[in-house]
Structure 1
Amino acid sequence: MHFVEEVGLMFELVGMPRMSGRIFGWLLISEPPQQSNNALAEVLQASKGSISTMTRFLIQLGLIERVSIPGDRRDYFQIKDHAWSQLTKQRLVQIGAFRKLAERGLDLMSAFPTQHKRRLQEMHDIHAFWERELPLIDERWEQEQENRRMSEGT
């Protein structure tokens, strides 16, 4: 359970609820990989309401998905395939929004001297850089994963 708590702390460090990280941490290592609301509440010693709220949050982020098991009426949750790649793509949208916001700020300050726009320019430049580079990195990542799958025969 120490690993699960570490994941919870890491999620909290990046601004997400600790409980969402604990759920995600457990789903990373649980066997079977699909876990019910009740099982999550029991193993994490958390209320069913908290588990329900945090699983909805993780579904919205695209990190987990709700699944069903034939013959069982309960809902189960598991890590979504390609969750990290999807999260990176979502971050790219946010990066683009920050770049556009900086552009609007720079437009508003067009008459000001360069030194007054330095912070906005940096905001723009870093987000423009990541907006340009992340798709290339993601493409390389996908190619690496494909090569690994091919070499493993899966």
Structure 2
Amino acid sequence: MEEEKLAYIEEFGLFFERVGGSRMVGRVLAALLVSEPPELTAGELAEILRASRGSISTATRTLEQMGMVRRFARPGERRDYFRVRPHAWEETVRRQSAMLSRFVALAERGIELLDPKTPDARRSLEEMRDFYAFWEGEVGRVMELWEREKRGRREVAG
């Protein structure tokens, strides 16, 4: 793989680590994003990234669980291949949106546990509920806008 792509992979991995992920998970994702063809085996990933098969296995499993990567096999081959899932970015946002709902529910449950006569104790939970409820609604609206944008792009393309 070219040096520029390898540098990009490292930059992506560092960014992924800075936002709370694993550097190796970011590196694997980036390698899949810039590979030609856009699918690689665990062995190919290990070679490109100069990493152990164990760390590649952990990273690909994590990416599969996140819904970012799809594992598949080709008929007659014993190796698994990995590819970034179509619409992975949208699915990631949808999954995060579901977590927003969970934060709202947890805040409401906490509020129910507190005495209504203690507004100071309730304030943080009410703020949490209101904040995540707001974002839950906004994400829904943004996803609707994105669907319209995608349809428009498809119509222009074709």
Which stretch shows the higher mean deviation, 101-110 or 16-25?
A: 101-110
Matched to 1:63, the amino acid is M
Matched to 1:45, the amino acid is R
For residue 111 of structure 1, report the CA deviation from its aligned partner. 2.6
C-alpha change, 1:107 and 1:27, in structure 2 (3 Å) is: same
Structure 1 residues 26-84: Cα deviation after superposition (integer angstroms, max 9, x where no partner): 11111110101100000001000110111011001000101233553311101100001
Which residue is 1:80 aligned to? 85
Which residue is 1:116 aligned to? 121
Which residue is 1:53 aligned to? 58
1:102 paired with 2:107, answer: yes
Mapped to 1, the partners of 2:20 and 2:117 lie a distance apart of 35
Which residue is 1:29 aligned to? 34
Q: TM-score scaled to structure 2, two decimals?
A: 0.90
Q: CA RMSD in A?
A: 1.4
Which residue is 1:40 aligned to? 45
Matched to 2:100, the amino acid is I
Which stretch shows the higher mean deviation, 7-16 or 123-132?
A: 7-16
Structure 1 residues 84-128: Cα deviation after superposition (integer angstroms, max 9, x where no partner): 100111101111111111111111123343233221111111110
Identity among equivalent positions (%) equals 45
Matched to 1:39, the amino acid is E
Where does structure 1 differ by over 4 angstroms across 4 or more consecutive aligned residues? none
Unmatched 5+ residue regions in structure 1? none
For residue 2 of structure 1, report the CA deviation from its aligned partner. 1.8
How many residue pairs match? The answer is: 153
